[in-house]
Structure 1
Amino acid sequence: MENVSVLEERKDFILYKQNGCSGNGMRCDANSVSGAVSQRACVYCGARVVLNPITDAFHIVHGPIGCASYTWDIRGSLSSGEDLYRNSFSTDLRESDIIFGGEKRLTAAIEEIATKHQPKLIFVYATCIVGVIGDDVDAVCKTMSKKYQIRVIPVKSPGFSGNKSVGYKMACNAIMELIKSEKPAKRKGVNILGDFNLAGEMWIIKDYLKRIGISVISGFTGDSNYENLLESPAATLNVVQCAGSSTYLANRMEEEMGIPFIKVSFFGIEDTTSSLIRIAEALQDEEARQKAIAFTKEETSKITPLVERYKKNLTGKKAAIYVGGGFKAISLIRQFDFLGVETVVVGTQTGKKEDYDIIESLVSKDTVILDDANPAELEKFMKEKQADILVGGVKERPLAYKLGIAFCDHNHERKHPLSGFDGMINFVKEINGSINNPVWKYMEESL
């Protein structure tokens, strides 16, 4: 740490991997350090990105117009039905509303949508300014639900009330408010939690499960809709893909509905294979397990020649990873290891202690592990470790390019799938195309 200039308050959030595991872990799952200009988003954003892919829901952002524009159409989530989720509705609070209260504006917004569109489901997001002025969003939603006989669910998400992980929790609470009273007949099948159908990834996973004889009852929340979500209590197992956003929901569904869950990942050959087999085992379905083994062997053999061809160009390269959740980071480390690429910097926005323990066990000595990093830290550590590529999101892309480092977009705006065997091909091609692009040679010459 002596050779790297970081804020004193941030040192406990940064760890250099030593031989073995330290056993002490690192600070995480805490609010961002003031002044550090964290890459992490706010509570409202965390709630919105979880709920937004529900295809036939209306999302009313109760706050200034900037909050609605900030999260408008920010996910690459695809729909097989309605596309209402592509729209953003706002009460557009102004100075006079801040002084006199915004409940009338919220009531008017809900009534306009209710009379013009006859919605089945409305989510109302309370933003920072609403938390300050004290509008009774719960009361307005309750009154409107009763008046129009529709589900109007408040989402308590003032941005200052915590961090992005708290937003995930608020979204999960809203989902539970929607489904907790439903009692559909139990049937054999799974819910997929924490997959948002980015570039159609939910469809890929559903197809894999269909091939091994396992039905998917509902998805949270990729390509989901009102009726589909109400069927979710019928499932016999919850499969958690994005642990950061959905573990809390899985815990509540287990405690209140008796549905057990397992955490899985469909990024990379190793994790996709393991996940399909583990799902079949959790359902105690031996036939599905045998089908999963045969299917994964077949798919692996199909893509191995292509992967091996690209692997020759990637072996010995160095990667930096900065993504939202711990499970994605873990899968990416394994994918890079499979390609002969060493992970030298790895961090997440919302990772938990158990995630960082696994990360520490997977990476090599002197790898930098960080939680809730800021751009200055990412720049310094990528330079120090001489990373060849950064895997991150839209906020990290300019940083990588300014440093002359290749970049791979693994965030929620992307337009091509990276899950499963199909996604592994896309991932390898993108990593190779970015790292080995001739432009870097010309940049080196110009420097």
Structure 2
Amino acid sequence: MESTKGKLKSQEEESEILKAREAFVCINSKDKKNSLKCDAESVSGSVSQRACVYCGARVVLNPITDAYHIVHGPIGCASYTWDIRGSLSSGEEIYRNSFSTDLREKDVIFGGEKKLSAAIDEIVEKHKAKVIFIYATCIVGVIGDDIDAVCRTAEKKHNIRVIPVKSPGFAGHKSMGYKAACNALIELMGKEKPKTKDTKAVNYLGDFNLAGEAWIINNYLKEIGIKVAAKITGDGRCAEIMNAKSSSLNIVQCAGSMTYLAKRMEELYGIPYLKISFFGVEDTKLSLFKIADFIGDKAMAERVRAFVFKEEKEIEKELKYYRKRLEGKRAAIYVGGGFKAISLIKQFNDLGMETVMVGTQTGKKDDYEVIRSLCAEGTVILDDANPAELEKFMLEKGADILVGGVKERPLAYKLGVAFCDHNHERKEALCGFIGAVNFAKEIDLTINSPVWDYLRLEV
């Protein structure tokens, strides 16, 4: 991988890379001595696409459908709710509501602990809540409210679980929020080891049930003879999460948000974990076989083979159609975690497309090594990119489409580049075998839309 240090000088009319950011941007090559700098704090002034600590914590915890969530901070922070996202529930809908202490100037001066206590009392009285998560925001981190003490007092008073989430936004970035949320989940489960284990039960970590994807995978696992004991956290329930430590295996879909939790559960409860991905045909197949191999059931392995053969046969014709329409197109990827980026590169390879730029917000060194092995020489690889860098390399590499999240959408459209939303706001299921078809269809619809011809005429 060739470092771009000293080689990123562009023409006067093009944007330049900040000097402090050069180590985070690399051009893929056969030279394996150079490596990409990653897993570090954002460079000040680079306008990172990363979200804050509070955002990361909310992403993980909010899909627990029967929990209550109090944002201890200004009312603006409460606007970040799951209702604007694609997580679905098969039961309770209370998670779509946002509760806030609405801290004002007076509270900043004199403290907001009394206001928080009153908010907890009100929710318990009106809604009979059994579990409440309390999020500390930036202002709480500044004024020093002791939310731990407030939560302990509330638990004794109401005989329910009231769990603090240490998530002041300035304390780091989104990954720190994931960790804060995972620590809160451990508090919910309790640190005592389970007395018995269910050998056929698994916990499904890191799927937030966007567009009902957790239901699709749950049906896959059920068909091959596996019971999902706890969904952590999409369409999750407090009771099943409390009992999750009795399962025999954790499967981790979103490695960025849930690997920490999986490791903690292995330490505390002796539950091993597997990193899997159900994005794309190749990774879906591999994941099902990995799970069956781990459990060591020969009959289950045979069921997986039969199931995979049947599913592939059903989608073969459609995927062949989209491959013909997409072959030779160029893709750019910018997503949250490295594991998702790896699956997307494989999907584009399967569709005959070339990935010319790929970046993540929270990727680790191992993720980037895999990305490097999957991409051709010359592919631009970025960690914690900013809009200027994304624009520069998308134009230089002639990307036909950008796959990213809601923050990247305006940038793509501004450049006249097709866009596919692969983040939490999407409403189309993109996982599993059916998701592979949906993904190919969406890429085709946007990349081959006649609107781009009109835009080129305008230019």
TM-score band (shorter)? over 0.9
**What is the aligned partner in structure 2 of residue 6 from structure 1?**
17
Which of residues 253, 258, 270 in structure 1 aligns to 2:282?
A: 270
Aligned-pair CA distance for 1:2: 2.6
Q: CA deviation at 1:116?
A: 0.9
Displacement of 1:299 in angstroms is 0.5
Question: Are 2:342 and 1:335 aligned?
Answer: no
Distance 1:353 1:167 in 2: 20
User: What per-residue deviation string (whole Å, max 9, x for no partner) do you get for residues 99-124 of structure 1?
Assistant: 00010110110000011111111000
Could you tell me which of 274, 282, 305 is aligned with 2:317?
Answer: 305
The AA in structure 2 aligned to 1:445 is L
Q: Secondary structure at the match of 1:228?
A: helix
1:130-186 residue CA offsets vs partner (Å, 9 max, x unmatched)? 000000000000000110000000000011111110100000000001103463631
For the 8 Å contact 2:62–2:69, the answer to whether it is kept is yes
Partner of 2:3: none
Per-residue CA shift, 1:216-275, capped at 9, x if unaligned? 110110101111111211111100000000000000000110000010000000000000
SS at the partner of 1:27?
Answer: coil
Contact 1:194 1:245 in 2 (8 A): yes
Q: Determine whether 1:360 maps to 2:372.
A: yes
Q: Which amino acid aligns with 1:269?
A: V
Q: Aligned residue for 2:405?
A: 393
Q: Which residue number corresponds to residue 380 of structure 1?
A: 392
Asked if residue 33 in structure 1 is aligned to residue 43 in structure 2, the reply is yes
Match for 2:241: what amino acid? Answer: L
* Equivalent in 229, 247, 251 of residue 217 of structure 1: 229
CA distance in 2, matches of 1:445, 1:224: 49
The aligned counterpart of 1:87 is 97
CA contact (8 A) 1:45 1:71 kept: no
SS in 2 for 1:195: coil
CA–CA distance in structure 2, aligned partners of residues 54 and 310 of structure 1: 36
TM-score normalised per structure 1:
0.98
Distance in 2 between residues matched to 1:259 and 1:74, nearest whole Å:
34
- Paired with 1:105 and 1:168, the residues of 2 have a C-alpha distance of 26
8 Å Cα contact 2:62/2:82 also seen in 1: no
Aligned counterparts of 2:242 and 2:37: Cα–Cα separation in 1: 38
CA deviation map 1:381-404 (0-9, x unaligned): 100000000000100001100100
Task: Work out the percentage of aligned pairs sharing the same amino acid.
Answer: 65
In structure 1, C-alpha distance between the alignment counterparts of 2:341 and 2:47, rounded to whole Å: 21
Count the aligned residue pairs. Answer: 446
Equivalent pair of 1:201/1:419 in contact (CA under 8 Å)? yes
Aligned partner of 1:346 in structure 2 is 358
- 1:44 corresponding residue in structure 2: 54
Tell me what 2:4 maps to.
none
Q: What CA distance in whole angstroms lies between the structure 2 residues aligned with 1:71 and 1:206?
A: 25
Moved over 4 A (4+): none
Preserved CA contact (<8 Å) 1:184 1:233:
no
| Partner residue in 2 for 1:128 | 138
State the partner residue of 1:424: 436
Q: Does 1:64 align with 2:74?
A: yes
Gap change, CA 1:255 and 1:438, over 3 Å in 2:
same
Kindly provide the CA deviation profile for residues 265-297 of structure 1, in whole angstroms up to 9, marking residues without a partner as x. Answer: 000000000000100111111211111111111
**Deviations 1:28-82 (CA, angstroms, capped at 9, x unpaired):** 1111111111110000000000001000000000000111113352431110110
Where does structure 1 lack aligned partners over 5 or more consecutive residues? none
Do the aligned partners of 1:206 and 1:216 also contact (CA within 8 Å) in 2? Answer: yes
Q: Which amino acid aligns with 1:142?
A: R
Tell me which residue corresponds to 1:248: 260
The equivalences for 1:400-415 within 5 A come to 400-415=412-427
Match of 2:293 in 1: 281
Q: Letter of the aligned partner of 2:124 in structure 1?
A: A
